[in-house]
Amino acid sequence: MRLRNRLGTGLVAAIVGVALVATACGKSSKSSSSNGTTGTTTAQVACATGTITGAGSTFVQTIAQQWIKDFQAKCSGATINYQGVGSGAGITQFNAGTVDFGASDAVMKPEEEAAAKAKGGDVLHIPWSAGGIAIEFHLSGVTDLKLSPDTLAGIFAGTVKTWNASEIKADNSGASLPSTPIQVVHRSDGSGTTNAFTSYMTAVSPTIWKAGAGKDVPWPTGQGAKGSDGVTAAVKQTDGAIGYAEVSYAKGSGLGIASIKNASGSYVQPDADAVAAALAEATVPADLKIVPNFKPADAKAYPISIPTWAIVFAKPADAAKGKLLKAFLAYAVDQGQSAAKGLYYAPLPKDLQDKVKAAVESIQA
């Protein structure tokens, strides 16, 4: 199915809470949305005790840490540890059995999922958040930057080499742009963010971006840095640098964020509403392995918008850990969505959220 614009502004609304079946140890209030599709309700938080660990996506790390903090505050017997090591490493650790859940901005490859299934049974991909990939830049004297798909692809392909190149000038009519050399910074580790960004460039500018799509690609130019935090730090330290990361990293470091031209010709910033508008046009199959639409028709949509997933076994081997994992995920995809916009993520659309809740409920623990 496709989530279409019939969802309207409800895509970015706080979602109505539902009662969760478990020991209640806290309450969370939900505010009504701007279009009146949800009302103020109170939902119980399902708690469980013990300790679980997860690893993976740095893209989701900011909101995941907020969920952990808030959930543990309501559930004093719970301890959840999460390490942002990159989507590729998270999948590797999940398959090795060293963590209880993985987190990735790319779905598992068939061979990765087959290996996991051979060890622990069926695997679920749980979409738990969505956000924009910010094109962050550090360029003295420039705070407002617009980039079209071909220009952006040319920068990361190494064919657009200076900030006053004709391609960038064409996107920024009347702007004063220096002749500073462009310094590209990309991820050095296996990254779901890289997978999404390179998939975007492959989709929108295949004649310029020829390095393909994946968690790790043969970058034609630039320097590598580990994690979204590493890319952001490298960009911040270098005048003329440009990189890509989840929005909260760029916002937190005070870097410039480029407006990206979408399929309708609008230059858009990666705010929560723009991400939600793009997510409304994503393809959502029954297994919830959402396929982003990098050419959304909505003029308000930010084109480099992606979902991110928690990866878990449908029947965790350790029932006690499985119960805590299920409780935490139930919180994240319900009450936890209220934290999204304040952290520059987009809440799950209501239709998708209902399916995600059902998937979490299906975990056998």
Out of 253, 279, 305, pick the residue that ends a domain.
Answer: 279
Q: Check whether residue 141 and residue 220 sit in a common domain.
A: yes
Confidence band of 179 (pLDDT split at 50, 70, 90): very high
- Cα–Cα distances (Å) from 265 to 113, 144, 147, 302, 328, in that order, read 38, 17, 11, 11, 41
Number of independent structural domains in the chain: 2
Which whole-number Å values give the CA distances from 17 to 52, 71, 350, in the listed order?
25, 15, 11
pLDDT at 125: 98
Q: How much of the chain exceeds pLDDT 90, in percent?
A: 87
Tens of pLDDT, residue by residue over 50-66, are 999 999 999 999 999 99
Same domain membership, residue 104 and residue 215: no
Whether 141 and 70 map to the same domain: the answer is no
What mean pLDDT do residues 95-123 have? 97
- Per the prediction, the chain carries an average pLDDT of 89
Q: Could you tell me if 149 and 123 lie in one domain? A: no
Q: Where does the pLDDT of residue 12 fall: very low under 50, low under 70, confident under 90, or very high at 90 and above? A: very low
Is 43 part of any domain? yes
Within-domain flag for 29 = yes
Asked whether residue 50 falls in the same domain as residue 87, the answer is: yes
27 near 43, Cβ under 8 Å?
A: yes
Q: With the C-alpha atoms ordered 312, 326, 348, 258, is the resulting torsion angle positive or negative?
A: negative
Same domain, 141 and 46: no
- What is the tens place of the pLDDT at every residue in 312-350? 999 999 999 999 999 999 999 999 999 999 999 999 999
Domain annotation covers residue 288: no
Q: pLDDT tens, 125-160? A: 999 999 999 999 999 999 999 999 999 999 999 999
Establish if 289 belongs to a structural domain: no
Give the pLDDT score at 71. Answer: 98
Q: Are residues 44 and 70 in the same domain?
A: yes
Q: What is the pLDDT of residues 78-97, one digit of tens each?
A: 999 999 999 999 999 999 99
Please check whether residues 53 and 138 belong to one and the same domain.
Answer: no
Residue 44 pLDDT class (50, 70, 90 cuts): confident
Question: What distance in Å separates the CA atoms of residue 254 and residue 249, rounded to the nearest whole number?
Answer: 9
pLDDT in tens, 207-248: 999 999 999 999 999 999 999 999 999 999 999 999 999 999
* Residue 305, domain member (yes or no): no
Task: Quote the domain boundaries for residue 169.
Answer: 132-279
SS3 labels along 55-96: EECCCCHHHHHHHHHHHHHHCCCEEEEEEECCHHHHHHHHHH
Q: Provide the percentage of residues in the chain whose pLDDT is more than 70.
A: 88
Residue 99 belongs to domain with CATH number: 3.40.190.10
Same domain, 105 and 143: no
Is 210 inside any structural domain? yes
Q: Do 150 and 267 lie in a common domain?
A: yes
Please check the confidence at residue 282 and state whether its pLDDT lies above 60: yes
240 touches 221 (CB < 8 A): no
Closest CA to 347 of 288, 252, 275, 260: 275
- Specify whether 136 is located in the same domain as 267: yes
Statement to judge: residues 190 and 239 lie in one domain: yes
